[in-house]
Amino acid sequence: MSQKLIEDITGREYQYGFTSDIESEAFPRGLSEDIVRMISAKKNEPEFMLEFRLKAYRHWLTLTQPVWPNVTYPDINFQNIQYYSAPKQVKKLNSLDEVDPELLRTFEKLGIPLSEQKKLANVAVDAIFDSVSVATTFKKKLFAAGVIFCPISEAVHEFPELVKKYLGSVVPHTDNYYAALNAAVFSDGSFVFVPKDTICPMELSTYFRINTEGSGQFERTLIVCEDNAHVSYLEGCTAPQFDTNQLHAAVVELVAHENAVIKYSTVQNWYAGDPKTGKGGIYNFVTKRGKCVGRKAKISWTQIETGSAITWKYPSCILIGDDSVGEFYSVALTNHRQQADTGTKMVHIGKGTRSTIISKGISAGKSNNTYRGLVQMNKSAHGAHNFTQCDSMLIGDRCSATTLPYIDVRNGTASVGHEASTLKVTEEQLFFFQQRGIRTEDAMATIINGFCQDVFKELPTEFAVEATQLLGLKLENSVG
Amino acid sequence: MLQINNLIAQIEDQTIINGLSLTINPGEVHAIMGPNGSGKSTLSKVLTGHPHYTVNGGSIQYDGQDLLEMDPEERAIAGIFLAFQYPVEIPGVNNESFIRMAYNAKRKARGESEVDAFDFAQLISEKLKLVEMDEEFLSRSVNQGFSGGEKKRNEILQMAVLEPKLAILDEIDSGLDIDALRIVAEAVNKLRTPDRSFAVITHYQRLLTYIVPDVVHIMVEGRIVRSGGRELALEVEERGYDWLTVAASAE
Ligand SMILES: Nc1ncnc2c1ncn2[C@@H]1O[C@H](COP(=O)(O)OP(=O)(O)OP(=O)(O)O)[C@@H](O)[C@H]1O
Ligand SMILES: [Mg+2]
């Protein structure tokens, strides 16, 4: 088939590739025990945090960089990364309007107004610039409702008991190479605590933005819902265009107690690198895990992965409480030279636990898109059930999609269902649209929307439209 | 309406349309017949701007414009409609929304406001009656799982909604049972107006007893080798194409 049309529509370029001219304060490149101590000191952390970091750092030293089977990239030089970079702010801010206007403008350009006058209705936003939280909206209103939503650097000071209790309880520093690294050097992230019987009154959202070249971004997010508490949280990510690849190694931990519901959504649009060479894109090695500790707890991951040069990410659920529920809804789009190896792990421990996995992989250009998922039914998981559906969509014929479902059932009463399909978007389909007067961009958006419906409907409504547009943009031709 | 002059077009190094000329005036119905592989569908694809085909010579004027300069969607919006010989399936895209998108694309291009789902539902239910299709087909994905005949009816439904100036019907009769053929033909007849033109590609003169053409063309090896009235269709049905092929190569 002729490649022209497909190339036209998949050729669109990244629109968030600008850098902002903001003075930043950064540490020298490289990692050592001194750097770890400096980070902790810089943030004035209590002793327990320094110990947490040092323990992780020492463990990290014993590990070697993992070699992931389905993605390839040159070795990362960990001594060439800057582990702390923060916008320079002279004094403590009393209100959002005191934030550097250049910073506010940056976030506005990204579609996230932070200032008091313009902030999004009914969505509280925590904005993270390089490694540091710069602003959190609706803080007071949330606090009145009993919900804590603040930078984790602040939580360490204000709620040390909660942090001590839960930090590392889901993803210990021994979990993997990047989790250890993150525990040692993380500089900020969001902390959410929803107390017993509380329904969080609005969407919570964090926007991550990398701005300084050569700086790694290691955020740490911790969300805890006590009994019968509910929260819906969304993270969004963008980065400027650089020539050198940026490392992003975040850790997200979720804890859901009895009957609690945590809904975690991600719209990831990190810079994917030069379309032709893949140079400069973000390496996204992220560990995300939720633990349903209590009975009937529910954790739901929804992710729209569109950016990054390399994505390596498996948001997972550990279903401990009886009748607890884990869900994973994912759209992963790869184009040009992008590589994504993403999926989930559902570990069933409690009786009657249920999980659902819906994964939609869209590949275009010369990209490679792998779904890797593990469903594990432990001996104790009587009557547990999983349903998995993996659909792949191929645009053009130089891309690839791989589906690797691993199933491990150790309980005879547990059941597992799996469905898979592959859809090819052909030029004949696109021509059919055109012949009816519909532009290819709109056709693409419509086809993708149809393909991803099952996942999009899980997104908070405020972001469903945004996600559709984002995917459309990713595949559109820049000359409309 | 449409003037094709000495058209030469190829696909993958192979010349398929080879010096074809054809003029269709407003309100006329032209039938195009010809053996398999003679280039009838190719002509329809070239007229609608399919990216796989390259035009190497000749010209096409449509409504006073140079058609070859226009994008496929511009041609559609300018009123050219093709009922495909093999309509494609589009999984996951709702049939009714698809037709509404097409309808609104046209309206938008004319500077008119878009029609919402509610108003469109009324509009399309009228058109459904014309092709005697069940509402159920609207809620399915475009052509997905449709039988051959249902796909053809769905094409005519789209034509009825989009109200083109020039409709090219590529073997709209193939795969239709007797009743469906009558329904589709009657629908086409109802859509005939003094300024809407049709190019009807078919292998069977039976269709032409329903949709009575003004002119019948016989296409062989990428050229019109003979044009005539209705009786020409009957003649090829009786005698086949050989005598015309011989006549053509003797030229
Ligand atoms: N992609 C292609 N590559 C090479 N040749 C092609 C291609 N597509 C079509 N052709 C050839 O072009 C010629 C004309 O095909 P076309 O579909 O226009 O014929 P047709 O007159 O519509 O035939 P039918 O009556 O069977 O529908 C055929 O010989 C066909 O094999
Ligand atoms: Mg044909």
Q: Taking 70 as the threshold, does the pLDDT of residue B247 lie above it?
A: no
- The closest of A474, A269, A250, A268 to A362, measured between CA atoms, is A474
Q: What is the pLDDT of residues A114-167, one digit of tens each?
A: 665 556 556 677 776 665 666 667 778 888 999 999 889 899 999 999 999 999
d(CA B6, CA B127): 38
What is the structure's pLDDT at A210? 63
> Computed from CA positions of residues B96, B101, B103, B107, in that sequence, does the dihedral angle turn out positive or negative?
positive
From A442, which residue of chain B is nearest by alpha-carbon distance? B101
User: Is it the case that residue B149 has pLDDT exceeding 60?
Assistant: yes
Residue-level pLDDT at A238:
62
Quote the CA–CA distance of A138 and A204 in Å, as a whole number. Answer: 10
Q: Which residue of B has its CA nearest to A451?
A: B92
- Written as one string, the DSSP assignment of B43-59 is HHHHHHT-TTEEEEEEE
Higher pLDDT, B118 or A71: B118
Whether B207 contacts B189, CB under 8 Å: no
Residues 6+ apart with CB under 8 A from A87: A22, A23, A24, A25, A100, A103, A129, A130, A132, A134, A211
Is A331 in contact with A452 (CB distance < 8 Å)? yes
> Does the CA dihedral A157-A162-A165-A167 come out positive or negative?
negative
Q: Which residue of A has its CA nearest to B94?
A: A450
Interface confidence, given as ipTM, is: 0.96
Which of B12, B81, B90 is most worth mutating to test chain A (most A CB atoms within 10 A of its CB)?
B90
Question: What is the average pLDDT score of chain B?
Answer: 94
Nearest Cα of chain A lies from the Cα of B100 at a distance, in angstroms, of: 10
pLDDT for A163: 97
**CB–CB contact B101 A432 (8 Å):** no
Residue B28 has, within 13 A of its CA and on its CB side, a CA count of 16
d(CA A70, CA A291): 27
Tokens of A324: 């607890």
pLDDT at B249 > cutoff 70: no
Angle at A318 between CA A315 and CA A324, to 5 degrees: 115
Contact A330, A342 (CB under 8 A): yes
Distance CA B147, CA A20 (A): 57
Please state the separation of Cα B51 from the chain's center in Å: 17
| Three-state SS at B36 | coil
Phi, psi of A344 (to 5 degrees): -150, 165
3-class secondary-structure state, position B132: coil
| Residue that is written with structure tokens 């199933």 in the block | A407
Chains A and B form CB pairs within 8 A to the count of: 72
Residues of A in contact with B76 (CB under 8 A): 434-437
CA B43 – ligand 2 centroid, Å: 9
DSSP assigned state of B71: -
Amino acid, single-letter form, for residue A471? L
Parallel, antiparallel, or unpaired for β B141-142 and B90-94? antiparallel
- Nearest residue by C-alpha to atom 11 in ligand 1: B37
CB contact under 8 Å between B52 and A2, yes or no, is yes
Task: For B186-234, write each residue's pLDDT tens digit.
Answer: 999 999 999 999 999 999 989 999 999 999 999 999 999 999 999 999 9
B101/A5 CB distance under 8 A: no
User: Does B144 contact A at CB distance below 8 Å?
Assistant: no
Which mutation among B7, B14, B43, B47 tests ligand 1's pocket best, with the greatest number of atoms within 8 A of CB? Answer: B14
CB contacts of B99 in chain A (<8 Å) are: 436
Q: Is B42 in the pocket of ligand 1 (CB under 6 A)?
A: yes
3-state SS record for chain A:
CCCHHHHHHHCCCCCCCCCCCCCEEECCECCCHHHHHHHHHHCCCCHHHHHHHHHHHHHHHCCCCCCCCCCCCCCCCHHHCECCEEECCCCCCCCHHHCCHHHHHHHHHCCCCCCCCCCCCCEEEEEEECCEEEEECCHHHHHHCCCEEEEHHHHHHHCHHHHHHHCCCCCCCCCCHHHHHHHHHCCECEEEEECCCCECCCEEEEEEECCCCCECECEEEEEEECCCCEEEEEEEEECCCCCCCEEECCEEEEEECCCCEEEEEEEECCCCCCCCCCCCCEEEEEEEEEEECCCCCEEEEEEEECCCCEEEECCEEEECCCCCEEEEEEEEEECCCCEEEEEEEEEECCCCCEEEEEEEEEECCCCEEEEEEEEEECCCCCCCEEEEEEEEEEECCCCEEEEEEEEEECCCCCEEEEEEEEEEECHHHHHHHHHCCCCHHHHHHHHHHHHHHHHHCCCCHHHHHHHHHHHHHHHCCCCC
Q: Taking ligand 2, which is a single-atom ion, which protein residues have CB atoms under 5 Å away?
A: B 40-41, 85
> In whole angstroms, what separates CA B178 from the centre of its chain?
20
Query: What is residue A387's predicted lDDT score, i.e. its pLDDT?
Result: 97
Q: Which candidate in B71, B73, B100, B163 is best for mutational testing of the A interface (most A CBs within 10 A)? A: B73
The predicted pLDDT at position A478 comes to 23
pTM of the model: 0.80
User: Which residues does A379 contact at the CB level (< 8 Å), separation at least 6?
Assistant: A410, A411
Question: Within an 8 Å CB–CB cutoff, is residue B154 touching chain A?
Answer: no
B13 in contact with ligand 1, CB cutoff 6 A: no
CA A48 to chain centre: 27
pLDDT of residue B250 exceeding 70, the answer is no
Residues of B whose CB is below 8 A from A431: 50-51, 72
How far, in Å, CA of A434 to CA of B120, rounded?
A: 20
Q: Do B102 and A434 touch (CB under 8 A)?
A: no
Burial label, A211 (beta-carbon count in 10 A; 0-12, 13-18, 19+) = buried
Residue nearest to atom 10 of ligand 1 (CA): B11
Euclidean distance between CA atoms A158 and A152, whole angstroms: 10
Min Cα separation B181/chain A (Å): 23
pLDDT in tens, chain A (480 residues): 334 444 554 555 555 655 666 566 667 778 899 999 998 998 899 999 999 999 999 999 999 888 766 777 777 788 887 777 766 654 455 565 666 666 666 666 656 666 655 565 566 777 766 656 666 677 788 889 999 998 898 999 999 999 999 999 999 999 999 999 999 999 788 899 999 999 998 888 887 766 665 566 788 999 999 999 999 998 876 655 555 667 788 999 999 999 999 999 988 776 667 777 767 777 888 899 999 999 999 999 998 888 777 788 899 999 999 999 999 999 988 887 778 888 999 999 999 999 999 999 988 888 888 899 999 999 999 999 999 999 999 887 788 888 999 999 999 999 999 999 988 888 899 999 999 999 988 888 888 888 888 888 888 776 666 676 677 666 654 222
Instruction: Round to whole Å and give the CA distance between A233 and A296.
Output: 20
Give residue for tokens 């550990």. Answer: A318
Mutation target vs A (from B67, B81, B97, B101; most A CBs, 10 A cutoff): B101
φ, ψ (nearest 5 deg) of residue A87: -60, 135
For residue A475, the model assigns a pLDDT of: 65
Q: Which of A87, A80, A85 is CA-nearest to residue A104?
A: A87
What single letter denotes the amino acid at residue B186? Answer: E
pLDDT at A304: 86
Q: How far apart are CA A305 and CA A282, in angstroms?
A: 12
A236/A16 Cα distance (integer angstroms):
12
B38 CB within 6 A, ligand 1: yes
**Amino acid present at A214:** G
Using a CB-CB distance cutoff of 8 angstroms, which residues of chain B are in contact with residue A442? 101, 105
Q: Which ligand is nearest to the Cα of residue B219, counting in written order?
A: 1
Give the integer Cα–Cα distance in Å for A445 and B85. 26
**CA distance, residue B226 to nearest chain A CA (Å):** 29
- Decide whether any atom of ligand 1 lies within 6 Å of the B79 Cβ: no
| B66 three-class SS | strand
Residues of B within 8 A of A446 (CB-CB) are 93, 97-98, 101
Amino acid identity, residue B131?
Answer: V
Closest CA to A406 of A89, A69, A86: A69
One-letter identity of residue A384? A
Token pair listed for A369 = 């898109």
The answer to whether B18 and B223 are in contact (CB under 8 A) is yes
Among A236-245, B29-38, B83-92, the minimum mean pLDDT is found in A236-245
Residue found under tokens 């206007």: A101
